[in-house]
């Protein structure tokens, strides 16, 4: 009598725990993606060679 009751209880706990843990993992992944985007540093890429040379030139080099 005790074994079927324990199996039913275990099945009920699994049915409750699986969706809850999936939601928890999704929330953790979303948070880590948000933190990763926050750590990104914007950069500017110039294809104009002259502008790049003017910007990198030392003002005391003239």
61 within a domain of the structure (yes/no): no
Give the model's pLDDT for residue 20.
86
Looking at the chain, the whole-number percentage of residues with pLDDT higher than 70 is: 71
30 within a domain of the structure (yes/no): yes
62 within a domain of the structure (yes/no): no
Domain that holds residue 8: 2-56
Q: Average pLDDT for residues 32-39, to the nearest whole number?
A: 85
Give the model's pLDDT for residue 9.
94
Residues 6+ apart with CB under 8 A from 46: 52, 55
38 within a domain of the structure (yes/no): yes
Instruction: Please count the structural domains in the chain.
Output: 1
Q: Average pLDDT for residues 9-25, to the nearest whole number?
A: 90
10 within a domain of the structure (yes/no): yes
Give the model's pLDDT for residue 12.
93
Give the model's pLDDT for residue 43.
77
Mean pLDDT of the chain: 80
């Amino acid at each position: 009598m005790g074994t079927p009751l324990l199996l039913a209880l275990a099945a009920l706990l699994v049915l409750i725990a699986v969706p809850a843990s999936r939601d928890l993992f999704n929330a953790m992944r979303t948070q880590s993606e948000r933190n990763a985007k926050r750590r990104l540093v914007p950069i500017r890429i110039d294809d104009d060679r002259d502008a790049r040379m003017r910007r990198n030139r030392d003002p005391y080099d003239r």
